[in-house]
Amino acid sequence: MVVFRFLAAVFLLVATIALVFDATPAVYGAGPFEGTTLSAHWQDLGPNSFEAAQKAVQAFAPWLWDRVIAPLLDVPTFIIFGALSLASGYAGRRRRAARIFVN
């Protein structure tokens, strides 16, 4: 449970940084708000790893990249990591103790 709560905090931090990165030009009037996709961030940070991952998945199953992974990577980064944060937070929540009495 502690691991999921830690991951939720890390994912929320990444989502917050991505949202601030995307919202800064709109706040200062330098341009409209545009959410940067996860694939754009990945291609900026490691273009070789993006291409290698794409080639590896397409060699395994071409439909998997085109129909499943590429649409997920085209979602803005802050939404993906926000959803991961919510899922990890829910998985790491404290559960109520079940009180079972046997007479």
Q: Does 101 reside within a domain? A: no
Q: Does 74 reside within a domain? A: yes
Contact 22, 75 (CB under 8 A): no
Q: What is the pLDDT of residue 97?
A: 81
Q: What is the pLDDT of residue 64?
A: 93
- The pTM is what? 0.83
Query: Distance between CA atoms of 53 and 35, rounded to whole angstroms?
Result: 23
Q: What is the pLDDT of residue 99?
A: 81
Higher pLDDT, 28 or 101: 28
Higher pLDDT, 32 or 14: 14
**pLDDT tens-digit readout, 16-64:** 999 999 999 888 888 889 899 999 999 999 999 999 999 999 999 989 9
Contact 7, 92 (CB under 8 A): yes
Q: Does 36 reside within a domain? A: yes
Higher pLDDT, 76 or 103: 76
Domain count of the fold of the chain: 1
* DSSP string across 28-47: HTSS---PPBHHHHHHHH-H
Query: Distance between CA atoms of 41 and 18, rounded to whole angstroms?
Result: 9
Q: Domain of 14? A: 2-91
Q: Does 100 reside within a domain? A: no
pLDDT tier at 76, thresholds 50, 70, 90: very high
Q: Does 98 reside within a domain? A: no
Query: Distance between CA atoms of 72 and 38, rounded to whole angstroms?
Result: 8
Residue 4 exposure: Cα atoms within 13 Å on the Cβ side: 11
- Give me the chain's average pLDDT, please: 92
Q: Does 12 reside within a domain? A: yes
